[in-house]
Structure 1
Amino acid sequence: MKRLNWQNIRLVLIIVLMVFFYSFSMKRNNERLLKSVNISFAAGKENNFITHEMVNNLLIQNCGEPLSIKKEKVALNTLETVLEDHEMIEKAEVFSGIDGSLNAHIKQKTPIVRYMSDNAKYYLDNKGDRIPLSENFSARVPVVIGQINDAKKSNYVYLFNKIANDDFLKKSITGLTILPSGSVVMTNRDYDFKIIFGNPIHVDKKLKNYKAFYKHAIKDTLIKNYKTVSLLFTEQVVCKK
């Protein structure tokens, strides 16, 4: 008869005990009630379009009062989907902590223009998606008036993004009017002249020309006399008094 290898038996017992205690602790952890709900916002956007209270209400509507349910009953993926379906939320991360907390980290959508027509008023984000107006916050972004052609929407959104991502243009351009022809006329903050941009093509070149013109023109007092500044020709800027 072979002698028992007590070292192997002891190793097996240790492994069995580890599995048991791990399973026991996991079960106890999952049965614990949530102790707190922590809601945070990315990039310091805490008090803009959506508030802590609004996020908390969304959580309550979809999982009940968080502090009265067990951790194992919380469907984190479902909560993330629910939050991301909200018109003002771009990304949501929901996770539970070992301290018994339910955590929701929210990235809000960022408006780049405010669209206004007789029938609708809303913001557009950098993807061209709608963001409803909010009673909590009003973004300082250019106002867009006119009909956006769906077939060319990506071109307009590209123009809006170029303005939003440029420090000078973001401060200077206050409005864009889209004419029935699809041509764009812009207004600026400091002077009364209209900027005839034309159709949203050759966007980078036209904006580069405008910035070069502006940098040069502000040195000349005649800039106050201009009625229009045309960017229709990509090789030059044409001004009219």
Structure 2
Amino acid sequence: MRVNWNTLKLSLLLATVIGLYGFSDYRSKQREIDDIEIKFLGDNTLFVTEASVNKLLIQNYGAVKNRAKEKLVLNTIEEVIQSNDMVKKAQVYFTVDGKLVSKIVQRKPIGRIESESKFYLDDSGKNMPLSKYHSARVPIITGKITGETLEDVYVILNYVNADDFLRKNVIGIHIAEEGNYQLKFRLENFVVNLGGVDNLNEKFKNFMAFYAKATKDNSLEKYAVVSLEFNNQVVCTKI
């Protein structure tokens, strides 16, 4: 019987590669974690610390360092990290040199509620607890806090944050009642009665026109209330 040496060589080569791969995979799984690296992504990185993440892992998962890779379930570790109220998303993976890397995106507060309960409103419109590590410089929300009014506040804050001038100058929102919101500006003494969250683009367009003219006339300090509640007009009350 004639032997096909090319086929035999190819089969032996394939078996060798599979064997080496299996051995390498086995050794990789048996290798212990040498180090843990925690990376915070984005600009919002002050509400969770590396130490607090390590403590969270130990409390909920046990010691990670010096454990074999095969004994670690990455999805479970991600779930443990994401159980922290300050964490928006976590991605965990192994490196070839035996390191466990966790990339963490923290939640972003856009407003701070000051009522019987104190908490942040994040950029997804959800309640976010205050952090013991950092206090965010965001507009303060006061007044009648309900689920419905916070939905409206979220709409207002999104509009404010999309505009450079408003983002830098609006420091507070007071909820006088449902459907009636007042804005406080950083350098001005007057209160802006916004009314509801309808027609925000038109209301702020009218306000910016008023603000530019009043700044030019040096008359901003004369006003106590600037109302945007009425259709296509700005009604001012002097001090």
Residue identity matched to 2:104: I
Residue identity matched to 1:93: Q
Cα distance in structure 1, aligned partners of 2:83 and 2:205: 37
Aligned to 1:197: 194
Aligned to 2:26: 27
Instruction: Tell me the secondary structure at the aligned position of residue 219 of structure 2.
Output: helix
Gaps of 5+ in 1: none
Aligned to 2:125: 128
Aligned to 1:170: 167
Deviation per residue, 1:119-145 (Å, 9 max, x gap) = 200111011111111121111111000
Conserved? CA contact 2:190–2:223, under 8 Å: yes
Instruction: Tell me the secondary structure at the aligned position of residue 179 of structure 1.
Output: strand
Matched, 1:112 2:76: no
Residue identity matched to 2:67: I
Aligned to 2:234: 237
Aligned to 2:47: 49
Residue identity matched to 1:95: Y
Root mean square deviation, CA, Å: 1.5
Superposition deviation, residue 213 in structure 1: 2.2
Cα distance in structure 2, aligned partners of 1:201 and 1:148: 19
1:86-105 matched pairs, under 5 angstroms = 86-105=84-103
27-36 or 182-191: bigger deviation:
182-191
Aligned to 2:14: 15
Aligned to 2:152: 155
Aligned to 2:36: 37
Superposition deviation, residue 147 in structure 1: 2.4
Cα distance in structure 2, aligned partners of 1:155 and 1:145: 13
Aligned to 1:217: 214
Conserved? CA contact 1:112–1:142, under 8 Å: yes
204-213 or 135-144: bigger deviation:
204-213
Cα distance in structure 2, aligned partners of 1:164 and 1:37: 36
Q: TM-score, normalised by structure 2?
A: 0.94
Superposition deviation, residue 152 in structure 1: 5.3
Superposition deviation, residue 84 in structure 1: 1.8
Deviation per residue, 1:163-185 (Å, 9 max, x gap) = 12322111111111101343101
- CA distance 1:218–1:203, change in 2 (3 Å): same
Conserved? CA contact 1:155–1:201, under 8 Å: no
Superposition deviation, residue 17 in structure 1: 0.7
Paired-residue identity, %: 37
Superposition deviation, residue 57 in structure 1: 1.2
Count of aligned positions: 238
Cα distance in structure 1, aligned partners of 2:225 and 2:37: 53
Cα distance in structure 2, aligned partners of 1:94 and 1:163: 35
Residue identity matched to 2:94: S
Conserved? CA contact 2:61–2:80, under 8 Å: no
